[in-house]
Chain A
Amino acid sequence: MDAMTSAAAGADRAVRFTGSWREYLPIAATNVLLTIVTLGVYRFWATARQRRYLWSRTEVIGDRLEWSGTGKEMFIGFLMVMAVLIPFFLFIQFLFPALVARGKMAAASGIMMLFYIGLIYLGGFARFRALRYRLSRTYWRGIRGGSDEPGWNYGGEYLGRVALSLMTFWIVWPWAATRLWNGRWSHMSFGPLKFRTELDAEGLKGRWAAVYLVPMAAFAVAGVIAALIGLGSAMSGSEPNPTFFAIILGLFLGVYLIIPLMTLNWYAAFYRKAADALSLGDLEFGFDAGTWDWLKLFLGNIGLAIITLGFGISFWGYRNWAFMIRHFHLYGEVDASRLTQSTTHAPGEAEGFADAFDIGAL
């Protein structure tokens, strides 16, 4: 028996996506149909079906992944979360206007502040749980992943780092994001192996600075051009309207194009670096999608949705997964006989928490 399974064996890639859109089309179509006729309730089952297909078409070192989660467990998880959150939301929904109506602005803003703090904390908690849930439902060669941590501490860490980032206008985000990545992944495991990660902001600061500096430079250039045009039109005696339009156009481009593009540019580097920094036993990971690849993915998603009059949205999950797997790399080897079953607590039905909100796990 060949216990050592090497990721580098042969010229074939260790991780492959073997799905095809024709094969996925009936799944997407019936998911859309059933989601509509159930007024959305089916979406938990739709998610489970989609994952079952995508996982089963993902080959890792010669064996296919398996998704073992069910729609029912996600649905029940969602109901449990709602049972807690809805009374809370209703309370705030009535309390806030009641305080405002009584002129108690300080109390009202205090309540709102607490509300947002609670939301950010829950957001972090949900993110941790989503990752833990996905690993616990992912089987490879009969072995699954998981985590022994419940994620409450991570929620606190997330709140603290996001609050610090907010207070600094997100300038410290590269530090916060990298430490949060470590905070999530270092508590995850697959079989008996713990994920290890020591991601730092080294090499990510320049691109983050560009998120601030490139729009500023663009504004400056737009301003100079606008002034020149204005000067030109003033000399020729015509109305200086072009100046105004050039400035408006510059602002528009800055906000709607340059800032998201530069942020994407940063995230592309972030995920490449984050995957490089991650390891599991003797396995090393890699991710090679550049900014342009991400941009093509997003533009493709939007284009597909437009030309199919919205139906293409049901293919976004497929396209995103295929994108991740095609750019994902695995190096090293795994000792199959020492990759024993995970001893992490097999999570119950309430784990569907974040998946209920479609919060990404990565």
Chain B
Amino acid sequence: MRAVYYDGVTADRHDIDVELDGDWLIVGPDRVPLSELAVADEDKSRLLLSRPGSAGWRLILEQPIEPGFRARLPHPTRYGSWIDRIGLAKASLVLAGVAAGVLVIGYTAPAFIAPLVPESWERNLGTAMVGDFGDNACRNSAASRALAAMSRRIDPAASGRAPITLTLIDVGIFNAAALPGGQIVIFDGALRDTKNPDAMAGILAHEMAHVRRRHVTQALIRELGIGALIRLFAGDVGANAQQLVSLSYTRANEYEADGDAIGALARAKIDPRPTAELFRELDKDDGPDFAAAEFLNSHPASGDRAKRFAAAYRPGVTYTPVISAGDYKAMRDACPLKHDAEHEKEEAGKGK
């Protein structure tokens, strides 16, 4: 057989004859054991042989190659050695099964594992992560008393359970959040825009449910576990899969937390309608497009949440305010400096 030979030492082209001799291939002046040859590439026009021990050693044979000779040479790697061995179809099925298993475990595991994580570990992590919020926390004894009174109304059975730390944060955004270690932060912006203490109670009950249900722990596990893993390998395909997993999961958690909050308000005889009203106002800000995007959004659309809270109202029940108006004023005035500055700006703006 005619062949082109490169010896890997120089780029010189050698047009030579090769001949099969038992378990050996005679390549010009050399004898090479067949067992030392690998097929680097094969297509309709040629067969490219290499010799893994000698870098750059290449032998190019023109197709068609005598079938008896070809049969004695290994197959080139196609999809990958393992997949080649068991076949593409079978390998795809096996891999798809494994992938589905990984996704199912990754999807459900955080909910199973979260209750098993000792609360003291989580508290240590929480302390390490958020500390005492430094200068951002609004420290005011009257406000702290009011906040404690509010949380006692919502969660009267708290005495035997892990403590929840409530902190007011001097940041003017409308938000409240549950953080690792039983920490709940309420931002000054949320206090300023929520005039009714019962609505604030609804928000607080929702965040407390996240803590009690270990949703925060779940989120941490998801983030550190499956999320990190998928993001690692993913590229584009997995990024979307990961987003779906984490979003739908968070939505399930949010729905559960709303349910718990409604239950807590009912037990404490706190009117759920101010919370519903708050969500309705948020819904208005969201605009009509928001409801359509509900599936893609981690929080359920505010309009649906408003309806759910409103439906929890029972006409026969005598509701009492969660805390007195005076106590709530103390909470809202807890972050005085920034609060006043922004308030003045707002007032000045209105004056014009």
- A-chain residues with CB within 8 Å of residue B88 when the two chains form the complex: 30
Complex CA–CA separation, A86 to B233 (angstroms) = 13
B11-A37 in contact (CB<8A): no
Q: Contact string, B123-136, partner A, CB cutoff 8 A, digits 1/0? A: 00000111111111
B133-A39 in contact (CB<8A): no
Q: How far is the CB of A210 from chain B (nearest CB, A)?
A: 33
Q: Which of A100-108, A112-120, A243-251 lies on the face that meets chain B?
A: A100-108
| B149 sits at the interface (CB 8 A) | no
B233-A39 in contact (CB<8A): yes
Interface residues of B, CB < 8 Å — how many? 51
- B-chain residues with CB within 8 Å of residue A39 when the two chains form the complex: 99, 102-103, 230, 233-234, 237-238, 241
Q: Contact string, A71-109, partner B, CB cutoff 8 A, digits 1/0? A: 110000000001000100010001001100111100000
Residue of A nearest to B7 (CB): A142
Residue of A nearest to B106 (CB): A39
A37-B96 in contact (CB<8A): yes
Complex CA–CA separation, A337 to B83 (angstroms) = 40
| A38 sits at the interface (CB 8 A) | yes
B92-A141 in contact (CB<8A): no
Complex CA–CA separation, A52 to B77 (angstroms) = 11
- B-chain residues with CB within 8 Å of residue A40 when the two chains form the complex: 230, 233-235, 237-238
Residue from B56, B103, B232 with most neighbouring chain A CB atoms (10 Å): B56
Q: Which of A237-290 contact B (CB under 8 A)?
A: none
A103-B234 in contact (CB<8A): no
| B166 sits at the interface (CB 8 A) | no
| A340 sits at the interface (CB 8 A) | yes
Q: Contact string, A180-217, partner B, CB cutoff 8 A, digits 1/0? A: 00000000000100000000000000000000000000
- B-chain residues with CB within 8 Å of residue A291 when the two chains form the complex: none
- A-chain residues with CB within 8 Å of residue B233 when the two chains form the complex: 38-41, 43
- B-chain residues with CB within 8 Å of residue A191 when the two chains form the complex: 11
| A235 sits at the interface (CB 8 A) | no
B8-A142 in contact (CB<8A): yes
A141-B135 in contact (CB<8A): no
Complex CA–CA separation, A289 to B343 (angstroms) = 59
B99-A101 in contact (CB<8A): no
17 A–B contacts from the bound complex (CB under 8 Å): A1-B13, A34-B83, A40-B234, A43-B235, A66-B41, A82-B232, A101-B130, A102-B131, A141-B6, A142-B6, A142-B7, A143-B8, A143-B56, A191-B11, A336-B11, A338-B10, A339-B11
Q: Which of B58-81 contact A (CB under 8 A)?
A: 58, 77-80
- A-chain residues with CB within 8 Å of residue B232 when the two chains form the complex: 82, 86
- B-chain residues with CB within 8 Å of residue A43 when the two chains form the complex: 233, 235
A102-B10 in contact (CB<8A): no
Complex CA–CA separation, A98 to B125 (angstroms) = 10
Residue from A3, A72, A90, A139 with most neighbouring chain B CB atoms (10 Å): A139
| B244 sits at the interface (CB 8 A) | no
| B95 sits at the interface (CB 8 A) | yes
Chain A interface mostly: mixed
Q: Which of B27-50 contact A (CB under 8 A)?
A: 40-41, 43, 48, 50
B237-A36 in contact (CB<8A): yes
| A334 sits at the interface (CB 8 A) | yes
| B289 sits at the interface (CB 8 A) | no
Supposing A40-B238, A139-B56, A341-B55 touch, asked if A98 and B230 sit within 8 A by C-beta, the answer is no
Q: Which of B224-267 contact A (CB under 8 A)?
A: 224, 228, 230, 232-238, 241
B136-A101 in contact (CB<8A): yes
Residue of B nearest to A358 (CB): B235
Q: How far is the CB of A342 from chain B (nearest CB, A)?
A: 9
Residue from A63, A140, A191, A313 with most neighbouring chain B CB atoms (10 Å): A63
Residue of A nearest to B224 (CB): A90
Q: Contact string, B83-100, partner A, CB cutoff 8 A, digits 1/0? A: 100001001100110010
- A-chain residues with CB within 8 Å of residue B43 when the two chains form the complex: 56
Q: Can you add 18 more A-B contacts, CB < 8 Å, to A39-B102, A68-B40, A103-B136?
A: A3-B12, A5-B11, A34-B79, A34-B83, A37-B92, A38-B99, A38-B233, A39-B103, A43-B233, A71-B80, A82-B232, A90-B224, A101-B130, A102-B133, A144-B56, A336-B11, A341-B8, A341-B9
Residue of A nearest to B4 (CB): A63
| B57 sits at the interface (CB 8 A) | yes
| A45 sits at the interface (CB 8 A) | yes
Complex CA–CA separation, A320 to B92 (angstroms) = 28
Residue of A nearest to B236 (CB): A313
Complex CA–CA separation, A241 to B122 (angstroms) = 56
- B-chain residues with CB within 8 Å of residue A38 when the two chains form the complex: 95, 99, 233
Supposing A37-B95, A40-B230, A56-B43 touch, asked if A98 and B131 sit within 8 A by C-beta, the answer is yes
- A-chain residues with CB within 8 Å of residue B128 when the two chains form the complex: 94, 98
- A-chain residues with CB within 8 Å of residue B11 when the two chains form the complex: 5, 140-143, 191, 334, 336-337, 339-340
Q: How far is the CB of B145 from chain A (nearest CB, A)?
A: 24
- B-chain residues with CB within 8 Å of residue A35 when the two chains form the complex: 235, 237
- B-chain residues with CB within 8 Å of residue A234 when the two chains form the complex: none
Q: How far is the CB of B58 from chain A (nearest CB, A)?
A: 5
- A-chain residues with CB within 8 Å of residue B7 when the two chains form the complex: 142
Q: How far is the CB of B225 from chain A (nearest CB, A)?
A: 12
| A319 sits at the interface (CB 8 A) | no
- B-chain residues with CB within 8 Å of residue A302 when the two chains form the complex: none
| Closest 10 pairs (CB-CB, A-B) | A103-B134, A142-B6, A339-B11, A142-B56, A40-B233, A141-B11, A101-B130, A103-B135, A37-B95, A336-B11
- B-chain residues with CB within 8 Å of residue A68 when the two chains form the complex: 40, 50
- A-chain residues with CB within 8 Å of residue B8 when the two chains form the complex: 142-143, 341
Supposing A37-B99, A101-B134 touch, asked if A1 and B12 sit within 8 A by C-beta, the answer is yes
Complex CA–CA separation, A336 to B48 (angstroms) = 20
Residue of B nearest to A93 (CB): B223
Q: How far is the CB of A352 from chain B (nearest CB, A)?
A: 13
| A33 sits at the interface (CB 8 A) | yes
A336-B13 in contact (CB<8A): yes
Complex CA–CA separation, A28 to B319 (angstroms) = 65
Supposing A94-B129, A336-B12 touch, asked if A139 and B95 sit within 8 A by C-beta, the answer is no
Q: How far is the CB of A343 from chain B (nearest CB, A)?
A: 11
| A9 sits at the interface (CB 8 A) | no
A340-B131 in contact (CB<8A): no
Complex CA–CA separation, A63 to B228 (angstroms) = 44
